[in-house]
Chain A
């Protein structure tokens, strides 16, 4: 199975910072890569699909790039509401593997 590895596992940042989370696949997944945000006690929320497409209603400070085996999620200017855990997920084929998550915390 294709493995998804996120880095870093934990990221400390301040409001207004620009942050980038990386997701690497053990084999190419094309552009079939999604990013989710999850807050404690809540269901995950789709942010980005097909690597770079912003889901409706998601602020434009979120962006995604990449292809093949390396992908990034960037938040251009962190807002208080952005402190959460972020997951990447491949969906080019089954199983739809998630990354292990990146916990974004306030510095």
Chain B
């Protein structure tokens, strides 16, 4: 069974940093692109970042302006999102999502989400 589980969310002050993790199981992790998607309270979905299976291809939403860094550890089947210079508007639930690029099904599995609250 495919499972994705985020962790590392919490309360952080503006300007602070936080690192999210996503533990994957039930599939060959290194064979899949992985993504982060966020959702501000009461708002819609916003794609954040993508990383290929080999980490060779990485993309970010323009709005992040270099503040976020996506990475992965295939040996540990884990995905990460390092967030720095956090702003109040980064407050959101952050989801990790598997991308089945080969079949074109896109985000076929999602984690339950990790809440990040940026507030003084």
Contacts and interface: CB of A to CB of B under 8 A. Distances in A.
Interface of A: 1, 32, 34, 36, 38, 43-46, 49-50, 53, 55, 87, 89, 91, 94-101
A91 B44 CA distance: 17
Contact of B110 (A32, A44, A94, A98): A44
A32 B61 CA distance: 18
In this complex, which of A1, A34, A44, A97 has the most chain B Cβ atoms within 10 angstroms of its Cβ? Answer: A44
13 contacts: A1-B62, A32-B104, A43-B111, A44-B45, A46-B105, A49-B105, A49-B108, A50-B104, A87-B44, A95-B47, A96-B47, A101-B44, A101-B45
Contacts of B108: 46, 49, 55
Main DSSP-derived SS at the B contact region: strand
B35 interface: yes
Interface residues of B, number: 20
A25 to B, nearest CB: 15
B107 A44 contact: yes
- Please give me the 10 A-B residue pairs with the lowest Cβ-Cβ distance, nearest first: A43-B110, A94-B59, A96-B47, A98-B45, A49-B105, A101-B44, A34-B106, A100-B44, A50-B104, A91-B106
B95 interface: yes
B84 interface: no
Contacts of A32: 104
B106 A89 contact: yes
Given A44-B45, A50-B104, A95 B62 contact: yes
Contacts of B107: 34, 36, 44, 46, 89
A73 to B, nearest CB: 15
Interface string B32-60: 00010100000011110010000000010
